[in-house]
Amino acid sequence: MQNLLHNLNPEQLAAVTLPSQSALILAGAGSGKTRVLTTRIAWLIQTGQVSPAGIMAVTFTNKAAKEMLTRLSSMLPINTRGMWIGTFHGLCNRLLRTHYKDAALPQAFQILDSQDQLSLIKRMLKAHNVDDEKYPAKALMYFINNAKEQGLRANRLEPNDPIERRMIELYELYEGQCQREGVVDFAELLLRSYELLARNGPLRHHYQMRFRHILVDEFQDTNDLQYNLLKLLAGHDEEGGGAIFAVGDDDQSIYAFRGANVGNMQAFEREFRVKNLIKLEQNYRSYGHILDSANYLIANNTKRLGKNLRTDAGQGEQVRVYEASSDLEEAQWIIEEAKSLTNEGVPRSEIAILYRSNAQSRVIEHALFAAGLPYTVYGGLRYFQRAEVKHAIAYLQLMDNPHNDSAFLRVVNFPTRGIGARSIEQLQMAADSYGISLYAAVPYMTGKAGSSLGNFVKLVESARFETQQLPLPELVRVVLERSGLLLHYQNEKEGADRIENLEQMVNAATQFVQEEGFGQGAPAHLGPPALPQAGEAIVNQDGIEILDADAPLANVMSPLSAFLTHASLEAGDAQAQAGQDALQLMTVHSAKGLEFDAVFITGLEEGLFPHESSARELDGVDEERRLMYVAITRARKRLYMSFTQQRMLHGQTRFNMKSRFFDELPEESLKWLSPRVQTNWFAGRKQTTAWDDAAFRDGSDNKIAQQITQKSGNGSGWRVGETVAHAKFGEGVIVNIEGGAGAARAQINFGSAGMKVLDLSIAKLERVGR
């Protein structure tokens, strides 16, 4: 115990040792949030207040869940298996697998990822001759997910207009289709679990009695359905429920765009009558100037619970700000700074380059590649999402649940086996008219189409038969062969990588079988044992005994089903081998939860960061500001910020003003880097276009700039890309200049004041020097 609690600061200690009541911990960035969560669990168990089985801890990412498990097992000499620690989706999956009958699901139900979900919707729209101009698949998907996240089924939605009426009908059709195929989407995992518990009193009561302590990480990211699920589990409206220990940071809520509701924090405080609100404001990560910047910036947001980070680490270095002339030059500057950091002894893996959107990485990657600097880009295509891996998975899915139409269509003619669009269309019609799956409709087909489809079915059947007794990794290997996938990619000229990815799957299966505790040689198809290990019996509505879902997955599903679930729920990090010494490139979103010695925040321009689309959304800029807050607080020792006068985006050159966020940072914490001497990077570059001219004039080399203005110049005395100030419109950036000397007019982007065309001989403009 002494060990457990020592080294905690007073607030952390208070949080860890709170009595068994619901509590809200406002944990600022770098304040030891994960430490508090895990120590709390360990303390509860060690002091005998709860058994491991009485603990449920929920996170949003698999990474966070794993981290928690690792830390816990280093603190306590206990088996973590009895505890429910995982993501919302992972835990719901476990619940539904155990109680699949009560949830009205087939035992081998499969999980659709977003890709599969979209393709199912597209297929459905086509089958019902829906005008996809009027009802785009993506819009419908958004509509459905949104409804589910609010806990609403189609029959509970009220249409406001004919379009919505149709959407609701389509939502209903979609649900029917999923049910027929035996598949569930991500939102469905949660909604089904919610409904299962809401409907089934004895079951709900059982879990309420079991989970005395529910701990929730990143509470600010919960959506309404997740919050309601928690309320149900904690028995909020009922007698004797458990306690929820919620940890979150309203300032780091950056997922509103996908349904997260920060309001859940206030709602939780109110509805659970939280007496224990503890703020963790001591930061152990960053130096003073960095924290001051973060605090100043976030103070511009109104609706906050209020929190200010502090540190004992001293002020440290100022934040370095750099204005580049173009995105290319920005990238070049980053490279030089990164090189000198490396020379100072900072490992490359401790240097992060952050950007608002993925599209920005290309320019930087290009420059890094040219400079020969090793780098890793986060957030690329994940392993289980690669086309060839999805194909192999589809074969496995068909073997486990042949009624999964998405899987069927993905591979029925891949590798090609002479089954064309025509045959598929006929099959589709047959399936629709009988109301059965494509696979089940194959026997109704006649003629040539019938025989080739029949052969495909035979292939799947025989693969299943042949692998009946094989353990999972062996099964995967056989399927790779029998499906013809390996052969197909062997004949393709760019296929080597794909083959490697496919063979990797055998390893993934081996590792999976070991980690999940399936018997080493257990046949992959074998269902769960008839008598699962000890678990309390529960009597359901119909008086039938069911089992508690505390058994390992091995007891509720076959190795194959479990592996497929794993593939959908944990798409697999693309950069599992990212350990090498490389610069870390990622979006600000994916940087959440990470920290680095040195951080570059790039592209700090109006329209990019804050992103232009945020202006249209309610509280959109506030969310962008929180995003910026997250970015700043990633840095331990050194922070860089950069912006550029011009940038290529979607094939067009844009001239942006520097981000408004610069005006919200404390001046004394910023160090505006003096313009550097021009490097010979520019040498030899053609100067034919206005863009190139502008690229030369970053203010760092005024002589050259003036010369060029005079030579090529429009004689107006102003140049494109320059920042100017106007008495009425404020600061703006010159986007274009038309006409010659004396009659020049400039198109100027005044940001919030809009785009204006001003006559340069009349308008009173001032240069804004930085």
- Could you tell me which residues are annotated as the binding site for ATP? 27-34
Query: To the nearest whole angstrom, how small is the minimum distance from the Cβ of residue 323 to DNA?
Result: 23
How many other CB atoms sit within 10 Å of the CB of residue 752? 11
Cα–chain center distance at 150: 20
Binding residues: 27-34
Which residue in 11, 12, 33, 226 is the catalytic one?
A: 33
**What's the token pair of residue 227?**
């919050």
Q: What phi and psi values does residue 672 have, to the nearest 5 degrees?
A: -75, 115
Query: To the nearest whole angstrom, how small is the minimum distance from the Cβ of residue 216 to DNA?
Result: 15
Query: To the nearest whole angstrom, how small is the minimum distance from the Cβ of residue 506 to DNA?
Result: 22
Query: To the nearest whole angstrom, how small is the minimum distance from the Cβ of residue 146 to DNA?
Result: 13
| Residue 745 Ramachandran class (φ > 0 left, ψ -120 to 50 alpha, else beta) | beta
Nearer to DNA, 484 or 532 (CB): 484
Query: To the nearest whole angstrom, how small is the minimum distance from the Cβ of residue 635 to DNA?
Result: 19
Nearer to DNA, 100 or 609 (CB): 609
Nearer to DNA, 689 or 702 (CB): 689
Query: To the nearest whole angstrom, how small is the minimum distance from the Cβ of residue 358 to DNA?
Result: 4
Helix intervals (H) in 324-386: 327-343, 361-371
Tell me whether residue 381 is exposed, middle or buried, using C-beta atoms within 10 angstroms of its C-beta: 0 to 12, 13 to 18, 19 or more.
Answer: exposed
Query: To the nearest whole angstrom, how small is the minimum distance from the Cβ of residue 418 to DNA?
Result: 5
- 3-class secondary structure, 360: helix
Residues that bind DNA (CB under 7 A): 60-63, 87-90, 113-114, 122, 186, 255, 257-258, 356-359, 362, 379, 413, 416, 418-423, 569-571, 586-587, 589-590, 611, 613-614, 617, 648, 650-651
**What's the token pair of residue 201?**
């009193």
CA–CA gap between residue 243 and residue 240 (Å, rounded): 10
Write the CA distances from 71 to 4, 53, 77, 128, 682, integer angstroms.
12, 18, 11, 52, 51
| Residue 754 Ramachandran class (φ > 0 left, ψ -120 to 50 alpha, else beta) | left
Examine the residue annotation and report whether 492 is marked as an active-site residue of this protein. Answer: no
Examine the residue annotation and report whether 231 is marked as an active-site residue of this protein. Answer: no
Which residue in 39, 87, 208, 252 is the catalytic one?
A: 252
Which residue in 11, 102, 217, 605 is the catalytic one?
A: 217
Examine the residue annotation and report whether 697 is marked as an active-site residue of this protein. Answer: no
Nearer to DNA, 349 or 413 (CB): 413
Nearer to DNA, 256 or 472 (CB): 256
Q: Which helix (H) or strand (E) holds 25?
A: strand 23-27
Nearer to DNA, 22 or 568 (CB): 568
Which residue in 34, 428, 687, 747 is the catalytic one?
A: 34
Query: To the nearest whole angstrom, how small is the minimum distance from the Cβ of residue 379 to DNA?
Result: 4
Query: To the nearest whole angstrom, how small is the minimum distance from the Cβ of residue 631 to DNA?
Result: 12
- 3-class secondary structure, 323: strand
> What residues contact 110, with CB distance under 8 A and at least 6 apart?
182, 183, 184, 397, 400, 401, 404, 407, 561, 564, 565, 568
Examine the residue annotation and report whether 647 is marked as an active-site residue of this protein. Answer: no
The candidate with the shortest Cα–Cα distance to 640, out of 632, 648, 649, is 632
**What's the token pair of residue 701?**
């080399």
Which residue in 97, 210, 307, 634 is the catalytic one?
A: 634
CA–CA gap between residue 144 and residue 150 (Å, rounded): 10
CA–CA gap between residue 115 and residue 113 (Å, rounded): 5
Write the CA distances from 348 to 324, 354, 375, integer angstroms.
23, 14, 8
Examine the residue annotation and report whether 11 is marked as an active-site residue of this protein. Answer: no
First to last CA, the chain: 56
CB–CB of 352/640 below 8 Å? no
Tell me whether residue 269 is exposed, middle or buried, using C-beta atoms within 10 angstroms of its C-beta: 0 to 12, 13 to 18, 19 or more.
Answer: middle
Nearer to DNA, 195 or 269 (CB): 195
Examine the residue annotation and report whether 623 is marked as an active-site residue of this protein. Answer: no
Q: Can you list the positions of beta strands (E) in 305-454?
A: 319-326, 351-355, 375-377
Nearer to DNA, 302 or 416 (CB): 416
Which residue in 113, 218, 388, 548 is the catalytic one?
A: 218
Nearer to DNA, 650 or 711 (CB): 650
The 8-class DSSP code of residue 605 comes to B
User: Which of the residues are catalytic?
Assistant: 33-34, 217-218, 252, 634
